[in-house]
Amino acid sequence: MPQSTLQPAGEAAEAIALLFYWMSAGAVVIWIIVVGLAVYAIYQPGQHHPQTIKRWVIGGGAVFPTIVLTGLLCVSLPMMPELQRPAPQGSLQVHVSGVRWWWRITYHIDDETVVETANEIRLPVGRPVEFKLDSEDVIHSFWIPALGGKVDMMPGRQTRLKLHPTRVGTFRGVCAEFCGAAHAQMNFDVVVMPADEFDSWLKQLTRPTASSQEPAAVAGEKHFFAVGCHACHAIRGTDAKGSMGPDLTHFGSRPSIAAGLLPNNHANLVRWITETDRVKPGVDMPAFHAMDRQQAAEIATFLEGLK
């Protein structure tokens, strides 16, 4: 999926990409002049008129770069107020907490309705969104390159970011601050949807999960509670009320597992349950190496049915 600032799908990313092109153009012009002077000096040996040398050194080495850099400053400064301005009153608010090495995501739908999910953010196209960002452990950095700039997430302090998606699609978000062993595996999916589809999805997100009633899923639910998964994970609509790990309500509808590391399918789920420490070294979730393969498969079937 796209993870490039130069493939913008949001107003902030478009401004950042434009600034990049302007700065690249200015740098290329300065580089051409400096290298041109060096080539001239190499291939035109001998004495040169002192006044000519002085004009080239001062003009090409000081005056022209100053003019170019001043122009770039004039291009970039007007962008800053809009990039820093909060989203309009009444905009969707999303609270994101960085946790080694996954993302706790909470949608504030209104003053009374708050719903939690994990490792996946869905946004409506054409609407501004206000992100409230913090960390539960170490410094992280929230970045969706295709939608906007990056903002640090620090323990004990809340930062903010406004994003305004302009194009429907699925994009990649990352942690842009080294935060430990699994830093490179701390990613998340960003799905930008038509506004009406997003409203339907958000309404569905507030509802308790509807698990599958096929025999393997029913058996998997029993195993889920028997081995203690509910102590760390919550599933709305069940007795699972844990808060240390990601919320698993509607887990089956997410495109990936392990914070964007693996596609969400049956084989990867079984592998994640039984070989957690090998798939993603350093995570707090214990690996159930001794678990019976069929038992793990039934838990995977139960989780796949949470939609």
CATH number, domain of 264, equals: 2.60.40.420
User: At residue 307, does pLDDT exceed 90?
Assistant: no
- Among 204, 234, 263, the domain boundary falls at 204
Confidence (pLDDT) at 164: 96
Residues 116 and 33 in one domain: no
Rounded Cα distance between 149 and 73, Å, is: 18
DSSP strand pairing (169-175 vs 140-143): antiparallel
pLDDT digits (tens, 9 = 90+) for 180-199: 999 999 999 999 999 999 99
Residues 200 and 219 in one domain: no
Confidence (pLDDT) at 230: 94
Residues in the chain: 307
pTM (two decimals): 0.87
- Among 49, 84, 119, the domain boundary falls at 84
Residues 60 and 102 in one domain: no
- Among 84, 100, 127, the domain boundary falls at 84
Is 1 within the bounds of a domain? no
Is 73 within the bounds of a domain? yes
pLDDT digits (tens, 9 = 90+) for 258-270: 999 999 999 999 9
Residues 105 and 79 in one domain: no
Structural domain total, the chain: 3
Mean pLDDT of 214-239: 93
Confidence (pLDDT) at 1: 64
What is the residue range of 165's domain? 92-204
Q: Coil, strand or helix: which one is 77? A: coil
Q: How would residue 151 be classed by pLDDT, with cut points 50, 70 and 90?
A: very high
Q: What is the DSSP letter of 250?
A: T
